[in-house]
Amino acid sequence: MSSPRVVLAYSGGLDTSVAIPWLKERGFEVIALTVHVGQPVDLQAVRKKALASGARRAYIVDAREEFARDYLLPAIAANAIYEGVYPLSTALARPLIGKHLVAVARKEGATHIAHGCTGKGNDQVRFDLSTTALAPELKVIAPAREWGMTRDEEIAYAAAHNVPVIAKKSSPYSTDENLWGRSVECGVLEDPAIEPPEEVYDWTQSPLTAPDDPEHVRIGFEHGAPTHLNGVRMGLRAIIEQLNRTAGKHGVGRIDHLESRLVGIKSREVYECPAATVLLAAHQALEALVLPRDLLDFKHVGELRYSQLIYDGLWYTPLRTAIDAFVASTQERVTGEVAMKLYKGSSRVSGRTSPYALYRHDLATYSEGDRFNASSAEGFIYVWGLPSRTWAAVGEQKSRPATATVPRQRRTSR
């Protein structure tokens, strides 16, 4: 009887490296899958490491363009930022990886998929729910959720099974990288009272040593999608890669977040998201220029829910599809250019233009050329305030004390 097959989401890091021999010890034939979403690693070396660690086969899928087009672009249009801080870099990659895990599992005739997520993290939910939504017949194994080893014990286990790992006891950081950002946790970062040491950063220059001169970048949008960088038409992936380098050089995109995890605990996370920080701010600035207030307000409500469902692993749901459809309908006029000033860790809007701008100088100016009909303001204010005025008047009448009456005394005869 042949061994059951499991497709493992393989990054080459500590958890997934240890997972290969661990799964084999439990009778599984392991198929490794590495999905390229922009992580700066030698993918062929990762593939060789998976095979050397005991995987039967090892797949490499280049999904960078798919990631940018089908996941990051909708997130930009929806201004997806969890808790107002985190651009969801890791969270957005998980449903894409889950999709390819299912595809390889069906190709290989596997009965299980596996991932390296722990029982405390959010990624376990994202992988599990992606599998449930796309292939409910597959079973999920999460070795790190079961084996109960500490990171030091994992390192020792890897050494005993001749599996080389990057993690060291002196630098036990756990990292994840893709086009949209880099996340770092563990080690001294587990104490939120301690400032992240400079050694945890890799994509961003320290603002203290960043260039002394600011740099301006111009981002062109068409229907909500970034299409130009400094006047040059580029694909979204190329824009993101260039902005990661340019903004990172100026120390832009460092995030220190005390995060509310789905499993109910608080977690200290450090992120580097240079391109995401710049693009999201630019997109919001352009929307503020071209969309009316009521639409901006209503869209913001949807954006909060959209960010939360991505974080919570609910990408493959009708709600996400419905919000995407609404957001897409709002992007028709989100076309124009936004200038961003990068300087010493900051990214600020320095200008914006659009053929659909709702800003009109002849209405906004206080100088010559003012065409606003100021005489109509008094009547507008009266009508606008009528409900408040009526409410106050009725309340005043009801609260006014009634006039006291003194009964007459009858005269009595003497």
**Does 256 qualify as catalytic in the annotation?**
no
Q: Which of 123, 254, 320, 354 is catalytic?
A: 123
Catalytic residue (choose from 5, 11, 15, 254):
15
Torsion sign across C-alpha atoms 80, 83, 88, 91:
negative
Contact between 129 and 313 under an 8 Å Cβ cutoff? The reply is: yes
What is the chain's alpha carbon radius of gyration, rounded to the nearest angstrom?
29
Q: Which of 5, 64, 94, 182 is catalytic?
A: 94
Catalytic residue, from 57, 151, 174, 346: name it: 174
Nearest to 82 by CA among 216, 194, 149, 180: 180
Instruction: Judge whether 123 counts as a catalytic residue.
Output: yes
Which tokens belong to 352?
Answer: 């914006």
Among 120, 157, 144, which residue's Cα sits nearest to residue 8?
144
**Is there a catalytic annotation at residue 15?**
yes
Nearest-CA neighbor of 116 among 97, 96, 134, 102?
A: 97
From residue 294, give the alpha-carbon distance in Å to each of 79, 299, 304, 317, 355. Answer: 17, 8, 16, 27, 20
Q: Which residue in 357, 72, 352 sits closest to 218, CA to CA?
A: 352
Active-site positions read 15, 94, 123, 174
